[in-house]
A and B are shown apart, each in its own frame.
Chain A
């Protein structure tokens, strides 16, 4: 019953041999050892498993792995590196938007997809765009602050004047 499935994750091609009813989240974590995306509920309500698929934020616990074939999957591991953090990652550090950190990878990936689609997102749009990602530690205040800071930084980069 296992199938060979090709996946493109963080710019690399992978071949996995798994049952087709596995979720993308399970395969990322258990087969590809990319444990940045977390399982908080396994029913699409917490957002800790969010990854970007063809630029859109997707809860990877709700996607079966064959549905991800031929698509570009970006996880938090592919977003930035220690030497070259994505502005969102830097802003989450600088603004104390991280506490326990369990929601952080999913939160950052949702914010990334949001800002890619809407680089000038207002606070209201950020709140609406991220409300599928739950955080129990921060009360969201510093997360909004970080996303706004990253938004401004990204705008500066794309328009240096």
Chain B
């Protein structure tokens, strides 16, 4: 629509101040639990949770709890709808509990204290059953325990092909001929890598308020992701009329994938329907560890064959993804496995990935959806291979990296790939070729790099609307999430750009199923791409309607007109003001007609859905379109390791990202720095520690996440934007949120190896683990000398 001669990009690509920042610094921005005071008579929820990882519920007596005054509803598994959705874990256990932390009964009462007292009056007897905590044991044909025979089948997935009772799915990739490939190899390297279970630990606990309405419907305020997805889930689970379920999404205090699964909304709805009242449920921090989503622990076996010149001729991988006790399992490990396919050119690739259930807290989406866990293996393997070949790690990667226009192992042609540029920039910035200068004392310095990519899942459907008012102000209506990544600002920028107006004239309205149009949720880093494309179409639709109205008034053909900053331009010269197109409205004399009327905004609509995947051959995994596009990144770190304590300090972090065109460069930097910080936690600090399957470190005090002090000094963190624009993205934008963790852990492990010659293949590189490996190496070195 907008013609070249009128266009000059002025708002996108700029560091526009976040539109939500003022409310947030004033303490005015409303998060879900901030709304409590709006609901007189609000009821509070507490849940009785299983201390056992696997047990039969022999007896469950809620009668004492029900008798307590001010208790308004007590529910157990028997009150839950029979339907199970893959979008949420089972609401409450029925016959068996399958992880330590699963809900057994719940209470809604007039105060949180009374609810807690009632929970303590519930009597439950368990008969402990064998449990399985290790995914490799769990996936055997005869495992020590069966988590639940039905898990994984609830999705009704056609891919469900159990080879063992705890295996939820199996994805196979068979590209080329791996045996012939290995036969050509001069060198073959085999390793096993693993990652720990970690918590999203977003600052705002999961929270929702559900009001039972007198028409039989309900209204939900929630920090869960995807208002329409929640609407669909709740109406489906409870058989409620779709038109009577309304979902509203205040600001969300982070998610990182945690709130993609809806673990508080169904239970709270159940209680609200039973109590016929308004019920609030906010998870405690302990519940955020025990009964919210977690990151998928992954074990990766990798065997790589290479020629002397570094060319990789074959790769075989087995990837085991631990879903925990998940109903919302990432079925077959395909998403995690994609991390191994999207970076390097590997013609002969044989890969199996498995989703496996265990009696541990359930796992799911977490910033990158498994790809960082698999890239952890691939990128450590690359450095180990480079060392064996006597090559620089950069040269080895340069030799094997996919280039634009080439096919990856799925058979997809890669349209946009800026990964090597990212790595070259990072390596240069941290001066990888210059050896570290060691100082006296126990601290040893080292440098390392790694790179990675994350697919964008071609899923979802995004709609957007714009209201154009007679004074030129614009309202943007959309329903994707604002978890902190800045979607409201990006949408405001997109609308301002399309209408060629200052950002101050745009107001964003978001996340209310009664007001804003359909969207799926913000996941897979696709909000800028999916919702942004829909919004561009909505803007162009509104502009078309306005220009159409202008053709009569200005007696000019549509093609000669454009809308720029509130003026209708005719072939580049201003004609009339937008305001003059809107005719005065009079209640009695000029209320009809088809012309634009003051007081009635022009409404533009846009719909965008990514081109769907092309079904792959189930035996080979080959397809010309498995995913949509890929974001890429590279990281370089300089660190010190204390050889007496095993402690690691990150001194410098350089991170380059290819996110396509950056709509807001500062916000892209924010994603990079945030992902880097989060990844430091995943790399050297964070892990679930269990006793008989019960997590014992379930508080911020015991499960430490990075603070200011674990980050390098400000001047030593560098975020580099290195875009390879994607033609079909808005102005060439792709996405950035998930990619920013991927390369960090392997860069750290590679730097640790560089510092002390100890290769660690399991995450996290906690001080205990590093020290243990240092001692093992010392012992091995001594044994070697003595023999």
Q: Which residue of chain B is the closest to A36 with respect to CB atoms?
A: B27
Residue pair A80, B37 in contact (C-beta under 8 Å): no
Closest chain-A Cβ to B111's Cβ sits at a distance in Å of 10
What string of 1s and 0s marks CB contacts (under 8 Å) between A64-97 and chain B?
Answer: 0000000000011100111001001100111010
Give the contacts of A89-126 with B (CB-CB under 8 A). 89, 92-94, 96, 98-105, 108, 123-124, 126
Contacts of B701 in A (CB 8 A): 43, 45
Interface residues of B in 28-45 (CB under 8 A from A): 28-31, 33-34, 36-37
B201 part of interface (Cβ distance < 8 Å): yes
Q: Does A40 contact B (CB under 8 A)?
A: yes
Quick check: B203 and A102 within 8 Å, CB to CB? yes
Q: A23 in the interface, Cβ–Cβ < 8 Å?
A: no
Q: Is B51 an interface residue (CB 8 A)?
A: no
Is there a chain B Cβ closer than 8 Å to A8's Cβ?
no
Q: Tell me, yes or no, whether B785 is within 8 Å of chain A by CB.
A: no
For residue A149, give the distance in angstroms from its CB to the closest CB of chain B: 11
The answer to whether A98 and B30 have CB atoms under 8 Å apart is no
Instruction: List the B side residues contacting A41 at CB < 8 Å.
Output: 285, 699-700
Q: Measured between alpha carbons, how far is A102 from B253 in the docked complex, in Å?
A: 5
Contact B251 A100 (CB under 8 A): yes
B696: shortest Cβ distance to chain A, in Å? Answer: 16
Asked whether any CB of chain A lies closer than 8 Å to the CB of B284, the reply is yes
A123 to B708, CA, bound (A): 10
Select which of A36, A43, A99, A145 is within 8 A of B486 by beta carbon: A99
The answer, among B26, B670, B717, for a CB contact under 8 Å with A76, is B26
- In the complex, A101 Cα to B22 Cα: how many Å? 10
- Decide if A134 touches B27 in the complex (CB within 8 Å): no
In the complex, what distance in Å separates the CA atom of A130 from the CA atom of B204?
19
Q: Is A4 an interface residue (CB 8 A)?
A: no
State how many angstroms separate the Cβ of B296 from the closest Cβ of chain A.
19
Interface flags, A15-59, vs B, CB<8A=1, else 0: 000000000000001100111111111110110100000000000
Cα separation A91 to B597 with both chains bound (whole Å): 42
Among residues of A, the one whose C-beta sits closest to the C-beta of B486 is A99
- B708→A46 contact, CB < 8 A: no
Q: How far is the CB of B268 from chain A (nearest CB, A)?
A: 18
Docked-complex contact B24 and A137, CB < 8 angstroms: no
Give the B interface residue count (CB, 8 A): 60
**B483 CB contacts on chain A under 8 angstroms:** 100
CB–CB A104/B25 < 8 A? yes
- Are A142 and B673 in contact, CB atoms less than 8 angstroms apart? yes
* B203 and A43 form a contact (CB under 8 A): no
Closest A-chain residue to B680, C-beta based?
Answer: A139
Question: Does B83 sit within 8 A of A, measured CB to CB?
Answer: no
Q: Does A128 make an interface contact (CB < 8 A)?
A: yes
The docked-state distance in angstroms from the alpha carbon of A77 to that of B284 is 25
A85 B25 Cβ-Cβ under 8 A:
yes
Contact B26–A89 (Cβ < 8 Å): yes
Q: CB < 8 Å: which of A77, A92, A93, A134 contacts B705?
A: A134
A contact patch SS:
loop
Residues of chain B contacted by A128 (CB below 8 angstroms):
708-709
Q: Are B26 and A38 in contact (CB under 8 A)?
A: no
Give the residue of A39, A105, A137, A138 whose beta carbon is less than 8 angstroms from that of B27. Answer: A105
| A99 and B485 contacting across the interface, CB-CB below 8 Å | yes
B214-253 contacts to A (CB < 8 Å) = 251-253
Pairwise interchain contact B202-A136, C-beta atoms closer than 8 A: yes
List residues of B (637-685) whose CB comes within 8 Å of A's CBs.
666-667, 669-670, 673-678
With contacts A138-B673, A139-B673 taken as known, whether A101 is within 8 angstroms of B201 at the C-beta atoms is no
User: B36, B677, B713: which contacts A138 (Cβ < 8 A)?
Assistant: B677
Task: Assess whether B580 is interfacial by the CB under 8 Å rule.
Answer: no
- Identify A137's interface contact among B25, B254, B707, CB under 8 A: B254
Q: Within 8 Å CB of A35, what residues of B?
A: 27, 30-31, 33-34, 37
Q: Give B280 Cβ to nearest chain A Cβ, in Å.
A: 11
Q: How far in angstroms is the closest Cβ of chain A from B291?
A: 16
Question: B700 to A137, Cβ gap below 8 A?
Answer: no
Chain A residues with CB under 8 A of B709: 127-128, 131
Q: Which residue on A lies nearest to B715, using beta carbons?
A: A123
A76 touches B27 (CB 8 A): yes
Instruction: Say yes or no for B786: interface residue by CB 8 A criterion.
Output: no
Is B484's beta carbon under 8 Å from chain A?
yes
How many Å from the CB of A2 to the closest CB on chain B? 13
Contact in complex: B18, A139 (CB < 8 Å): no
* A134-B707 CB under 8 A given contacts A40-B205, A93-B25, A98-B24: yes
Query: A144 in the interface, Cβ–Cβ < 8 Å?
Result: yes
Pairwise interchain contact A139-B285, C-beta atoms closer than 8 A: no
Contact A138 B674 (CB under 8 A): yes
Interface: B428 (CB within 8 A): no
- The answer, yes or no, to whether B614 is at the interface (CB within 8 Å) is no
Complex CA distance for A88 and B25, rounded to whole angstroms: 9
CB–CB A104/B678 < 8 A: no
| A142 contacts B202, C-beta separation under 8 Å | no
- A135 touches B (CB below 8 Å): yes
Question: Quick check: is B256 within 8 A (CB to CB) of the other chain?
Answer: yes
Tell me whether A80 and B18 are in contact in the complex, defined as CB-CB below 8 angstroms, given that A99-B486, A102-B254 are known contacts.
Answer: no
Per the bound structure, the CA–CA distance linking A33 and B38 in Å amounts to: 10
Q: Is A141 in contact with chain B by the CB < 8 A criterion?
A: yes
A38-B31, A139-B678, A141-B673 known; A100-B699 Cβ under 8 A:
no
Distance in angstroms from A130 CB to nearest chain B CB is 5
Which residue of the partner chain B has the closest CB to A104?
B24
B203 and A136 form a contact (CB under 8 A): yes
Tell whether, in the assembled complex, residue A139 and residue B711 are in contact, meaning their CB atoms are under 8 Å apart: yes
- In whole angstroms, how far apart are the Cα atoms of A144 and B711 in the complex? 11
Q: Residue B189 at the A interface, CB < 8 A?
A: no
Set of chain A residues within 8 Å of B4, measured between Cβ atoms: none
CB < 8 Å neighbour of A39 from B15, B33, B677, B705: B33
Residue numbers in B under 8 Å from A127 (CB-CB): 708-709, 711
Expressed in whole angstroms, the Cα–Cα distance for A82 and B29 within the complex equals 13
Residues of B within 8 A of A75 (CB): 27
**Cross-chain contact B203 with A92 (CB below 8 angstroms):** no
Using Cβ atoms and an 8 Å threshold, which residues of chain B touch A108?
25
Docked complex Cα distance between A100 and B648 (Å): 29
Closest A residue to B716 by CB, please name it. A141
A92 touching B25, Cβ below 8 Å = yes
Q: How far is the CA of A85 from the CA of B204 in the complex (A)?
A: 25
Shortest Cβ gap from A14 to chain B (Å): 15
- Asked if B1 lies at the interface with its beta carbon under 8 angstroms from chain A, I say no
B200, B285, B670, B676: which contacts A99 (Cβ < 8 A)?
B670
Q: How far is the CA of A131 from the CA of B700 in the complex (A)?
A: 13
For B200, what are the chain A residues with a Cβ–Cβ distance below 8 Å? 136
Chain A residues, CB < 8 A from B22: 82, 93
Beta-carbon contacts of B685-699 to A below 8 Å, as 1s and 0s?
000000000000001
Q: How far is the CA of A100 from the CA of B200 in the complex (A)?
A: 14
Q: Is B21 an interface residue (CB 8 A)?
A: yes
Supposing A41-B700, A96-B666, A100-B251 touch, asked if A137 and B674 sit within 8 A by C-beta, the answer is yes
Contact B700 A138 (CB under 8 A): no
- With A100-B251, A134-B705 already in contact, the answer to whether A46 and B203 are too (CB < 8 A) is yes
Given contacts A29-B34, A40-B285, A46-B203, 19 further A-B contacts (CB under 8 A): A30-B36, A35-B30, A36-B26, A41-B699, A43-B701, A45-B701, A77-B28, A88-B25, A92-B21, A93-B22, A98-B18, A100-B483, A104-B25, A131-B708, A132-B707, A136-B201, A136-B674, A137-B484, A140-B711
17 contacts across the A-B interface (CB closer than 8 A)? A29-B34, A29-B36, A43-B285, A80-B26, A81-B26, A82-B22, A99-B674, A100-B251, A101-B25, A102-B203, A104-B25, A131-B707, A134-B707, A135-B203, A136-B203, A136-B256, A141-B711
Query: What 9 A-B pairs come out closest when comparing CB atoms?
Result: A36-B27, A100-B484, A139-B677, A102-B253, A101-B24, A45-B700, A76-B27, A139-B673, A99-B484
